[in-house]
């Protein structure tokens, strides 16, 4: 087993199936070929990432090919803006389609030819029933359908009508082309499904060339077969469509032998759901349109664009995808798993910085007035190659407000009256006096430091349990920090059908901290930089802040905090 080739250790039903197909020589010398088929009508989210990375990984692991093909058969819903964002997102994720970027609409002409041949073969007919009538004739879940009165239309008449549909002679919605299959089938998809509808609409790629557009069930299998896709993966809800998929491909192989030589097969797997978020396009759109978030790329959104802007790495998403696995069982993955993957990838890569989010002033009373001393800090613990930096220390600093407690519980080992704590990479200080304002709020701590306790050359003999971060007041840089948290307070915002999912939004999903104090080296941050703010979490320099004067850092994910958990 090697790192690059995952076929040995990835144990899921799809890999198993492919290995069997390969073992049986089912593909001849044809390489494994997958595809990701997005409809350009919205932004991609992490659920799509699962599909993208799965398809891509299969191609990579089996030395096959991976296509990107836009399913653009409905001009009314689709836009160029979305093809651009989808391409950018997939590229960022690292899935490589090489030179195989396709559009379903590229094949409109050959598909039309296929439709013609179906008609000639007597397997498709033009139906004049209106939408409502078609619905009624289709029957119900428990009752069989009734055959359309146009089902027996002669081939020549069908041919004539279908050509005239293409020529734009008839109004939108007035006629459709249907497959002649089985109106009594228990599977509604087989009750003479619509193959083409009349749509006088301008398409983002073909313009006004067409006035008929193919339906998914006709278009998708044919496009797969045309591209030589060996394994066509899709989500579970398409399971019912598989007989129709096969019907189309079998007919394509028979009727279009000059272009279709391979019978692709559809395999379904469960789509990804995650706790504390929503994944449906409709709900995500509502969040954007009703202003609950700042757009599709808001860092709280589960969109690829949102995750990217938050600072999540593509590497973490790929790791997440592999850990989640693939199966046919409906599942909702704990967001904590994604958080774990994010932290794990950043642990050894993100340089450390000291940043105080909620400051409490500390004056060191026995420090020489006006003196500044530089202390040396490692950028990444345990990684010499990441180097060191100098951080200025002085007699007035800020520490995190919650690193002090006036009346601490037994296991609290940070600062408290009379207690000692180490200032990271500097000295041990003792809290001598607590200063409060008129309302009893702590406004300042008076401490003394131990000259002998200097980090790296400690001769004090003291052993303190607590180590806290700090920032020298005089040298502090000011930055803005966006603390992002789960968008929803409940695990499953969609659980209750009665209650609008909006009501579960976390009012604290974004806390903006302005005038946050940071060690001066933070100003060296350049776009794309990720840091660990000591004891706080991983942060990403926002690539597109609204205010360019002050750096804005987005919290990617908080550090694990076993103290916070213990407190509960």
Partner RNA sequence: UGGGGCGUAGCCAAGCGGUAAGGCACGGGACUUUGGCUCCCGCAUGCGUAGGUUCGAAUCCUACCGCCCCAGCCA
In the complex, least distance from residue 555 CB atom to RNA, rounded to whole angstroms: 14
281 is catalytic: yes
Using CB under 7 A, which of 208, 240, 433, 500 touches RNA? 240
285 is catalytic: no
The stretch near RNA (CB under 7 A) out of 5-13, 52-60, 248-256, 546-554 is 5-13
* Token pair in block for residue 474: 């005089």
User: Does the footprint of RNA cover residue 352 (CB under 7 A)?
Assistant: yes
Tell me how far CA of residue 386 lies from CA of 212, 220, 350, 525, in angstroms: 61, 50, 10, 15
Kindly name the residue from 39, 268, 322, 420 that is annotated as catalytic.
Answer: 39
Residues 111-170 that bind RNA (CB under 7 A): 129-131, 134-135, 138, 140-142
Q: Which of 120, 263, 340, 401 binds RNA (CB under 7 A)?
A: 340
**Which residue out of 100, 164, 271, 328 is catalytically annotated?**
271
Q: Are 231 and 185 in contact (CB under 8 A)?
A: no
Binding-site size, RNA (CB under 7 A): 96
Q: Are strands 352-353 and 530-533 parallel, antiparallel or unpaired?
A: parallel
**Among 458, 502, 506, 513, contact with RNA (rule: CB under 7 A):** 458
Are 52 and 322 in contact, with CB atoms under 8 Å apart? no
The residue among 329 and 369 lying less far from RNA, judged by its C-beta, is 329
What is the CA 124 to chain-centroid distance, rounded? 41
Q: Which two tokens stand for residue 552?
A: 């804005």
Residue 362: strand pairing partners: 397, 445
Q: Which is nearer to RNA, 66 or 70 (CB)?
A: 70
Q: Cα–Cα distance between 67 and 294 in angstroms, integer?
A: 32
Based on the residue annotation, tell me whether 271 is a catalytic residue of this protein: yes
Q: How far apart are CA 438 and CA 455, in angstroms?
A: 37
DSSP state of 522: G
x/- binding map, residues 261-290, to RNA, per CB under 7 A?
---------x----x---------------
Q: Compute the 3-state secondary structure of the chain and give helix, strand, coil in percent, each to the nearest 5.
A: 30, 25, 45
- Min dist CB 547 to RNA, Å, is 28
The contact mask relative to RNA for 471-510 (x = CB under 7 A, - = no) is ----------------------------------------
CA distance 202 to 74: 10
- Cβ distance to RNA smaller for residue 324 or 516: 324
Residues within window 197-236 making contact with RNA, judged by CB under 7 A? 197-199, 213-217, 219-220, 236
What three-state secondary structure class fits 41? coil
Question: Would you count residue 451 as binding RNA (CB under 7 A)?
Answer: no
482 alpha-carbon distance from chain centroid: 20
Q: Which of residues 71-90 bind RNA (CB under 7 A)?
A: 71, 73-74, 77
CB of 420 to RNA, least distance (A): 12
281, 285, 465, 499: which one is catalytic? 281
Q: Helices (H), strands (E): how many in the chain? A: 13, 27
Rounded (10°) CA dihedral 224, 229, 234, 239: 70
Q: Work out whether 459 is an interface residue with RNA (CB under 7 A).
A: no
**Based on C-alpha coordinates, what's the Rg of the chain?**
31
Instruction: Write out the catalytic residue numbers.
Output: 39, 271, 281
């Amino acid at each position: 087993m090697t790192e690059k080739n995952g076929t040995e250790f990835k144990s899921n039903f799809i890999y198993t199936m492919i290995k069997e197909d390969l073992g049986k020589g089912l593909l001849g010398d044809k390489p494994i070929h997958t595809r990701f088929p997005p409809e350009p009508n919205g932004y991609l989210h992490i659920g799509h990432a699962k599909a993208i990375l799965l398809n891509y990984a299969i191609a990579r692991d089996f030395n096959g090919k991976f296509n990107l093909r836009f399913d653009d058969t409905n001009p009314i819903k689709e836009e160029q803006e979305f093809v651009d964002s989808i391409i950018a997102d997939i590229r960022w994720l690292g899935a490589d389609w090489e030179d195989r970027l396709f559009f379903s609409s590229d094949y409109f002409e050959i598909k039309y030819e296929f439709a013609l041949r179906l008609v000639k073969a007597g397997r498709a007919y033009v139906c004049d029933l209106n939408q409502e009538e078609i619905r009624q004739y289709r029957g119900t879940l428990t009752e069989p359908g009734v055959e359309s009165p146009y089902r027996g239309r002669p081939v020549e008449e069908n041919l004539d009508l279908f050509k005239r549909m293409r020529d734009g002679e008839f109004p939108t919605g007035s006629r459709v082309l249907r497959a002649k299959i089985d109106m009594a089938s228990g599977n509604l998809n087989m009750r003479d499904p619509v193959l083409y509808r009349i749509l006088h609409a301008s398409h983002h790629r073909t313009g006004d060339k067409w006035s008929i557009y193919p339906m998914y069930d006709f278009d998708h299998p044919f496009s797969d077969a045309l591209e030589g896709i060996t394994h066509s993966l899709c989500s579970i809800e398409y399971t019912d469509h598989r007989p129709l998929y096969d019907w189309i491909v079998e007919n394509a192989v028979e009727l279009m032998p000059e272009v279709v030589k391979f019978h692709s097969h559809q395999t379904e797997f469960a789509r990804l759901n995650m706790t504390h978020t929503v994944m449906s396009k409709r709900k995500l759109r509502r969040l954007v349109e009703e202003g609950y978030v700042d757009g599709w790329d808001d860092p709280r959104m589960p969109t690829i664009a949102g995750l990217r802007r938050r600072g999540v790495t593509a590497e973490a998403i790929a790791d997440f995808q592999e850990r989640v696995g693939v199966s046919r069982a409906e599942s909702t993955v704990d967001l904590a798993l994604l958080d774990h993957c994010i932290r794990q990838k950043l642990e050894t890569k993100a340089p450390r910085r000291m940043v105080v989010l909620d400051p409490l002033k500390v004056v060191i009373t026995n420090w020489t007035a006006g003196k500044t001393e530089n202390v040396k800090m490692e950028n990444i613990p345990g990684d010499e190659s990441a180097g060191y930096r100098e951080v200025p220390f002085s007699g007035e600093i800020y520490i995190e407000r919650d690193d002090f407690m006036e009346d601490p519980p037994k296991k609290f080992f940070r600062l408290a009256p009379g207690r000692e704590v180490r200032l990271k990479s500097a000295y041990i200080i003792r809290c001598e006096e607590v200063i409060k304002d008129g309302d009893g709020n702590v406004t300042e701590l008076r401490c003394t430091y131990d000259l002998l306790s200097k980090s790296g050359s400690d001769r004090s003999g003291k052993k303190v349990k607590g180590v806290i971060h700090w920032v020298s007041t005089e040298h502090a840089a000011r930055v803005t920090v966006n603390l992002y948290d789960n968008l929803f307070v409940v695990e499953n915002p969609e659980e209750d059908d009665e209650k609008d999912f909006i009501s579960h939004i976390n009012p604290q999903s974004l806390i903006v901290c302005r005038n946050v104090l940071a060690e001066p080296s933070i100003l060296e941050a350049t776009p794309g930089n990720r840091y660990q703010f000591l004891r706080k979490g991983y942060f990403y320099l926002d690539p597109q802040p609204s205010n360019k004067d002050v750096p804005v850092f987005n919290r990617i994910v908080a550090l694990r905090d076993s103290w916070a958990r213990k407190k509960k």
